[in-house]
Structure 1
Amino acid sequence: MEFYPEVKLMKDAYGAGFSNGLTMCQSQSALAFHKTEDRGEDAVYEDGRQHRIVLHKKINGQAVEVSTEFINESSDEVTLEMLSTFAVKGITADRIHRMQSFWSAEGKLRTESIDELHLEPSWNRCGMRIEKFGNTGSMPVRKYFPLLILEDSKKKEFTGIQLYCPSSWQIELLCKDDETLTAAGGIADRDFGQWTKKIHPGESFTTPKAVIARGNTIYEVCDRLVKAQRPAISEADNKMGIVFNEYCTTWGNPSYDNIKKICDKIKGKGIQYLVIDAGWYGKAQGWWSSMGDWSVNEERFPGGLKKIADYIRSCGMIPGLWFEMESVGINSEHYQDKEHLLLKDGVPLTVGERRFWDMEDEWVINYLSEKVIKLLKECGFGYLKVDYNDTIGMGCDGEESLGENLRRKVLATQGFFKKIKEEIPGIVIENCSSGGHRLEPSMMELVSQGSFSDAHETVAIPLIAANLHRAVRPEQSQIWAVLHAQDSDNRIFYSIISTFLGRMCLSGDIYDLSGEQWKLVEQGMHFYEMASDIIRDGITVKCEYSTQQYNHPTGSQLVIRRLGRRCLAILHRFEGSEASDLEFLKNSRLIAEYGSAEEDFSAKAWIYEEDASVI
């Protein structure tokens, strides 16, 4: 396996092998570069035209972090059409694994053989074979996660690659000269994401990074990739505290009275955060269409939000507040504010009934600093949920190409996340985007937690939550248990045990639960606290399921996470399931158990200690 640079400069020839329009790899630009210097982990390449490329590599735990820097030392401006973050050739693999993602169905593992993908060399090595995938827009996991795992089943070797790119990205596999593969990826190129970037004389450009890891199992590789992430988790949030979010309680209609009612019901139960979700602003037109103004609805919260935030704190919890700060709804007074909104083709970029602030605009940053940061400070909120419910798409008007303008706008959004943390040290930030559309590592490194999905009341929750172990640190993956008075014991177990796959978040009709139902919930909360170090620091060693259906799952799912000799096992049964033989408990010492898995759509969890000879 050999690292090298892939680049395409405007006006240079495209690659051969019938590849033009499918890939920009192996162009005249790339073939002109030759290695001229090794600098330890870095390597320098030059093309004879006073263009230099530096491949940056550094060790990150049990993984390698890579990026590519293009330097224009010539006297002429050049335009990049593609610059890979990583390019690796000489890979032996017979299967690949990807994570597909749609709304409320995030992270489904897709496994294909190289033969199924038709990635074999042509009979005379003339034609290029290509598999290219990725995402365009500002929801970076809206089709696939930026993740690829290559498997050599004969050698039992896995190579995993995870891109840190919050805007349009691509990953591609190439096969031409022999049976080995080339993998390359980074910012979506001119063909795939309408991206070009001008580099003036004396300037340079560095790609977003990627992390690459190798291992003997898919679990091992994914764990190394995930543990290479360095999230800025708030000190207040380092003990796996439980969240209560009121959205599935008030359904977008929070008020001082109903939030106080929730406080009175859950105080003293060990919940760390109470988050006020959408609907605290605007008036009759509703929360979905009035975002952007961020004026407190004083009919619901007389005198503003400080009074209810203070009450939440008086009940021993940290108050949280929801914003969708980048968007402007159709009923906002700013909906026609063309000067400060993103434009495309000279008119405000509109998706449904939503437009977008230009996050590179200083006026917008000052406005949001007043409306978001100042409000959080003055009211004493210690938790911020940032939602984002549609995508910019291919890009917007600006100084350069659609794709480059998009990249800059998204980086400006990340800059505002950093500004919030600078001005409110210690704040806990949750990354939400219609649930999980921004579960991408560069976004997750800016926050304490992320919403795992919007699948809050579906039976697919444990499937989605387990999927995310491959791409997101479970200590950041917030999973909801929405509770209702009509829930059976088995439904309560099913919901609560799903949260053991990440961070526990409660919601629902909690003031209508009976004493017996609350007892089951509190037992689950206690079990979660016992398992929290395994969730946070362990490695997932098993994730077995037999269903391909999410709306109507069948069979069962067993997830096992290990920390030293202690293990957490989580079993969910779906339709047509059979009793498990619990083989994993043999030769083990049981520490705790919770739930009941005696029938379809039931669940049970165990904490146990393995015999030292088993590991």
Structure 2
Amino acid sequence: MNILEQYTLGDMLLSYVADPQGRVGMQLIPAERAGDVLEKEWAAEPLVQLHAHGDQLPNGYGNGHTLATTPATDRMKPEARCTEGDAIITRLTDGAGRTVYHKVRWHEGTRALRVSTVFENTGSTPVVLDLLSSLNLGSITPFTEGDASGALRVHRARSAWSAEGRLQTDTVEHLHLERSWTGHALRVEKFGQLGSMPVRGWFPFAAVEDTHAGVCWAMQLACPSSWQMELRRRDDGLCMMASLSDEDYGHWCKTILPGERFETPEAYLTVCSGGVDAASQRLLSLHRENWVGREKELPVLFNEYCTTWGDPCHANMVHIADTLKGKGIDYLVMDAGWYARDGIGWSDAGGDWIPNETTLFPEGIKATADYIKAAGMKPGIWFEAETCAGASDTFHREELLLKRGGRVIDTANRRFLDLRKEEVHAHLEERVISLLNRAGFRYVKIDYNCCIGMGCDDPDSLGEGLRQNMQGALRFFRRMREAVPGLAIENCSSGGHRLEPSLMAVSDMASFSDAHECPEIPIIAANLHRLILPGQSQIWAVLRASDSLRRLNYSLVNTFLGVLCLSGDVDGLSPAHWAKVEEGIAFFKAVRHIIRDGESAFHGKVSEAWRKPEGWQAVCRSLGCETLSVIHTFGGEHPGQVRLPVKGKRILRVMCSEDNAVHLEDGELVVELKAPFEAVAVLTGE
């Protein structure tokens, strides 16, 4: 392949390449490895994959697996390339009314690229798109000969309720992505998610590692609706693609009228010398750039859900506030149930968002918020604002609700607001935003506990209806921040079903999981260090009067993998319990700058079983000359001591429950492990 242009982007080298057939693609490598690139016979993977109604479908046994690799894509030829600000823009056209702008954005200080595509209809007739890639990268791998047999590993992140972020690693051969003997057959591994919970089954993340060369490519997609990723191969080169779900997979197509444009969600892309752990930390440099709270000190929170279990009445909130006063808590958050009616619980009553000021808050909910403020904390409140439950009036206001096939989408006690409608945003302004301002709440937890599914009625397609609705959800998040001064927003979806970049960008933090009292909390929290910023990952330590000090220490140290949120018993804790809680809060405050701004390295050996975990793990998060090391043991066997590479020459702080011996030796932290399900946190520095 011929190199057309090259750009050095930090420590990455981006090359635009062309093959003899005129296809133009891009190659991304670590700049330091430019001298190691091999000459190989492979086709350029086009910058953009697209398909529209009426176009020919893929051959090579690909039809039904993918809408990529068709003549419509091959007809898109580059006309010009230019730079505008931090963007490299390539214009492509087929000469028959289809124009595409391929954008690569990068600026100093980030270690990943933002890649997106704009389609413009420059013809005289409508075009019905049913595939438009955000990112399409080929030439993997240019460092190992031939088809790199045995060298390539594919890393993905699985997710399920209370089991978010499991790293799954497969060989290319195991995924059946070996090239065919003729190079005719198209190999495709396609995965994604359908609906309004974008992290359900999989995270929108994938990485390919050349283990022989020690190079890893990684991508993420910022998409709150249905999405897909493809790994494809026809010759020696493997391709990675990220996009909105196409029509085959996600019921998405969209009509682009003459003169109209459509832009894809952004994909994030990086490459580095190293493995998936290093590559994932690089992608998070873009999350940090997006994060509205990147300059704020990480708070300490208390959420009362595991205290009252859905009964946050005035009397309960006053008692909790009195108990927590002076203990260093920044936010006291009132969770579900403040709107419940007599005989109708929190799960059935949501949707109207009218406080029960008859029995739960006889002095008005503002009086409760004011009491929390007087106790030295900022008040927070929970909503499931985009849905309504069966006992609400909103449940029956069908003009406000999403439909499919003309019928309201109903998941047996949840219906969904149509966030494409102005009257719905007016409803949310009145019931949510007005209440936040009127009562003085400065923290809002937006939960989301069911999924729309493949889509909703729309003139174009069910998938396009879903896409527009979820753009409406992003609009609502932005409106809350605009309308409520100083508001902090928590993104929750039965825990972690919405931990994707676009929703994280409009949130201060997110609920990492619903695994509130489970032994696998630190395993989930550690895995999420590859996918979201720990400074946005709110982790609960649920306090129980029955806890041993080892168990309480375990729960508190878990939170050092993210943002500390307490819940649980405020009555019955012994003085020793409270001393441990106060130690945990003080430790968190001493290391929260590292949690917010550091980078993570992973150590240990954990069993495949998370519910009954065995083994041990450590996450070492470093910033400058300091390292926060968070070590956990589980069941089964574990070593008597572990050695961890860390920064710093002194041990500055230790938190443990078993009087574990800890020392530094030759640049390594040596930690004694003494018991199952124990936790040790160590801060080292100068």
TM-score (norm: length of structure 2): 0.87
Are the equivalent residues in 1 in contact too, given 2:216–2:273 (CA < 8 A)?
Answer: yes
Measured in 1, the distance between the counterparts of 2:577 and 2:273 equals: 44
Go from structure 1 to structure 2 and tell me whether the alpha carbon gap of 1:27 and 1:121 turns closer, same or farther (over 3 Å shift). same
Write the letter of the residue equivalent to 1:182: C
- Give the corresponding residue for 1:296: 355
Q: Which has the higher contact order (CA 8 A, sep 6+)?
A: 1
Unaligned runs of 5+ in 2: 1-14, 16-24, 27-46, 142-150, 658-672
- Give the corresponding residue for 2:469: 409
Measured in 2, the distance between the counterparts of 1:105 and 1:517 equals: 28
Are the equivalent residues in 2 in contact too, given 1:96–1:113 (CA < 8 A)?
Answer: yes
Deviation at 1:25, TM superposition (A): 0.6
Secondary structure class of the residue paired with 1:358 = coil
- Give the corresponding residue for 1:267: 325
- Give the corresponding residue for 1:47: 94
- Give the corresponding residue for 2:81: 38
* 2:66 equivalent to 1:23: yes
Are the equivalent residues in 1 in contact too, given 2:511–2:537 (CA < 8 A)?
Answer: yes
Measured in 1, the distance between the counterparts of 2:455 and 2:605 equals: 39
- Give the corresponding residue for 2:9: none
- Give the corresponding residue for 1:336: 396
Are the equivalent residues in 1 in contact too, given 2:489–2:509 (CA < 8 A)?
Answer: yes
- Give the corresponding residue for 1:208: 265
Are the equivalent residues in 1 in contact too, given 2:604–2:615 (CA < 8 A)?
Answer: no
Write the letter of the residue equivalent to 2:681: A
Secondary structure class of the residue paired with 1:145 = strand
Measured in 1, the distance between the counterparts of 2:431 and 2:537 equals: 28
Measured in 1, the distance between the counterparts of 2:132 and 2:623 equals: 40
Measured in 2, the distance between the counterparts of 1:585 and 1:603 equals: 18
Measured in 1, the distance between the counterparts of 2:349 and 2:285 equals: 39
Deviation at 1:474, TM superposition (A): 0.6
1:436-486 deviations in Å (ceiling 9; x for gaps): 000000000001010000000000100000011101011010000001000
The one of 326, 344, 349 equivalent to 1:285 is 344
Measured in 2, the distance between the counterparts of 1:545 and 1:103 equals: 23
* 2:412 equivalent to 1:352: yes
Are the equivalent residues in 2 in contact too, given 1:466–1:543 (CA < 8 A)?
Answer: no
Measured in 1, the distance between the counterparts of 2:291 and 2:237 equals: 39
- Give the corresponding residue for 1:483: 543
Please show how residues 164-243 of structure 1 align to structure 2 within 5 Å.
Answer: 164-176=222-234, 178-217=235-274, 218-229=276-287, 230-234=289-293, 238-243=296-301
Superposed CA RMSD in Å reads 1.4
1:416-442 deviations in Å (ceiling 9; x for gaps): 111111111220000000000000000
Secondary structure class of the residue paired with 1:481 = strand
1:210-237 deviations in Å (ceiling 9; x for gaps): 11111123222111111211344359x8
Please show how residues 143-154 of structure 1 align to structure 2 within 5 Å.
Answer: 143-154=201-212
- Give the corresponding residue for 1:613: none
Deviation at 1:580, TM superposition (A): 4.3
Go from structure 1 to structure 2 and tell me whether the alpha carbon gap of 1:529 and 1:580 turns closer, same or farther (over 3 Å shift). farther
Measured in 2, the distance between the counterparts of 1:545 and 1:139 equals: 30
Are the equivalent residues in 2 in contact too, given 1:169–1:187 (CA < 8 A)?
Answer: yes
Please show how residues 338-417 of structure 1 align to structure 2 within 5 Å.
Answer: 338-417=398-477
* 2:680 equivalent to 1:604: yes
- Give the corresponding residue for 2:134: 85
Deviation at 1:585, TM superposition (A): 7.1
Report % sequence identity.
42
Write the letter of the residue equivalent to 2:198: P
Write the letter of the residue equivalent to 1:89: G
- Give the corresponding residue for 1:9: 52
Measured in 2, the distance between the counterparts of 1:272 and 1:478 equals: 14
Go from structure 1 to structure 2 and tell me whether the alpha carbon gap of 1:421 and 1:564 turns closer, same or farther (over 3 Å shift). same
Write the letter of the residue equivalent to 1:126: H
* 2:496 equivalent to 1:439: no
- Give the corresponding residue for 1:66: 115
Are the equivalent residues in 2 in contact too, given 1:233–1:428 (CA < 8 A)?
Answer: no
Measured in 2, the distance between the counterparts of 1:509 and 1:546 equals: 30
Write the letter of the residue equivalent to 1:554: E
TM-score (norm: length of structure 1): 0.97
Secondary structure class of the residue paired with 2:644 = helix
Go from structure 1 to structure 2 and tell me whether the alpha carbon gap of 1:580 and 1:510 turns closer, same or farther (over 3 Å shift). farther
Go from structure 1 to structure 2 and tell me whether the alpha carbon gap of 1:128 and 1:585 turns closer, same or farther (over 3 Å shift). closer
Are the equivalent residues in 2 in contact too, given 1:585–1:608 (CA < 8 A)?
Answer: no
Are the equivalent residues in 2 in contact too, given 1:103–1:435 (CA < 8 A)?
Answer: yes
Unaligned runs of 5+ in 1: 611-615
1:301-349 deviations in Å (ceiling 9; x for gaps): 1132100100000011000000000111011112121111101111110
* 2:104 equivalent to 1:57: yes
1:512-535 deviations in Å (ceiling 9; x for gaps): 211110001111111111111111
Measured in 1, the distance between the counterparts of 2:625 and 2:435 equals: 47
Write the letter of the residue equivalent to 1:591: L
Are the equivalent residues in 2 in contact too, given 1:234–1:427 (CA < 8 A)?
Answer: no
Are the equivalent residues in 2 in contact too, given 1:456–1:482 (CA < 8 A)?
Answer: yes
* 2:181 equivalent to 1:123: yes
The one of 508, 517, 525 equivalent to 1:448 is 508
Residues 199-208 or 527-536, more deviating: 527-536
Secondary structure class of the residue paired with 2:311 = coil
- Give the corresponding residue for 2:653: 592
Q: Number of residues paired by the alignment?
A: 608
Measured in 1, the distance between the counterparts of 2:248 and 2:364 equals: 50
- Give the corresponding residue for 1:156: 214
1:223-255 deviations in Å (ceiling 9; x for gaps): 1111211344359x8111101000000001111
